[in-house]
Amino acid sequence: MSKDEIFRENLTTIADFNFGKKVVSVFDDMLDRSVPFYQEIQRMLVEMASEFAVEGTNIYDLGCSTGTTLLNLGQNIPGKVKFIGIDYSEDMLARCKQKLAEHPFSREHELTRADLNQGVHIENASVVVMVLTLQFIRPLNRDTLIGSILRGLNENGCLILVEKVLGEDSLFNRLFIKYYYDFKRRNGYSELEIAQKREALENVLIPYKLLENRELLIKEGFRYCDVFFKWYNFCGMIAVK
């Protein structure tokens, strides 16, 4: 696994963050060092997905990136189900395909390139997973995306959503951001790296408050919704149709 040093040097111009070759090459390390309890979140979402997965249905990973979640799902969910990974980045999909081949991943699967800002076609789904994906969808398009997921889910199917979130109150939001940057420092990121990545993400990653995400899910028609993980400004939610 290559080390994330993308923002290590002082950059004269900081472009918007994107999921191109440079990011893809270090993405797994970036997640491990930037997302609190990432491995435990993976374990938890697989545990829950296993409860809702139904034989003969599809399991979707929207924003599948390098395929870590697909691999974990495929290794732990038994029975005849099809795994479908969707991502907009061709470089991510290429790395995902390579990673699945290396393990190897013998389950029935399909990788598709699609822009989730345009909605998504989901069918016969018992489980849909979005790990740190919705936050990169333009806010104006999130209602449409969640609505299309709901329509493609079978009755009692679930959506598992992991997001970076804002604090409900500005006081706590400032504290949570401070604690998060402390977490990144503990994992070896410098002040320059933290500052430059923050600037690169400013217009790209737009988090909602936890309650705003919950309201979105309920408004679009999910019957049940609960929080299964919370760490300062990160949360995991599960919603059932």
Q: Is 64 within any annotated ligand binding site?
A: yes
Q: Is 65 within any annotated ligand binding site?
A: yes
CA atoms within 13 A on the CB side of 88: 12
Q: Which of 40, 42, 39, 2 lies closest to 22 in space, CA to CA?
A: 2
Backbone angles phi, psi at 222, to 5 degrees: -70, 135
Q: Is 224 within any annotated ligand binding site?
A: no
Q: Is 185 within any annotated ligand binding site?
A: no
**Known binding site: residues?**
38, 63-65, 198
**Known binding site for S-adenosyl-L-methionine: residues?**
38, 63-65, 198
